[in-house]
Amino acid sequence: MIYHVTRKSDWEKALLLGRYEAASLQTEGFIHNSTAEQVAGVLDRYYRDEKDLLLLHIDETKLTAPLRYELALSINEMFPHLFGPLNLDAVIKTEIL
């Protein structure tokens, strides 16, 4: 299981489009994700003052785009990166943060 933090409005847009594409897919070539142990740190580093957030629970075995774990040098941890749009059927739960 991997996890992705997103704004509620971005998730609602994805539901209309039939796929989820974070802005990072265009700017960096992948969608940032986290393991369960990394979610708290991600929230603290990047979303401290954000409201209306959701945590997507993603079943890795259902992904249609390539997933690779890559090193984030700034904190020396391996993070799961999705190299393509997130297919909605891989999201098994959405959690309000």
- The pLDDT score that the predictor gives to residue 26 is 94
- The pLDDT score that the predictor gives to residue 4 is 98
Domains defined for the chain, CATH in brackets: 2-96 (3.20.170.20)
- The pLDDT score that the predictor gives to residue 59 is 98
Which amino acid appears at position 7 of this protein?
A: R
Q: Give the integer Cα–Cα distance in Å for 24 and 37.
A: 22
Q: Give the integer Cα–Cα distance in Å for 94 and 75.
A: 27
- The pLDDT score that the predictor gives to residue 52 is 94
Q: What is the pTM of this model?
A: 0.93
Which regions in the chain score pLDDT beneath 50?
none
- The pLDDT score that the predictor gives to residue 74 is 87
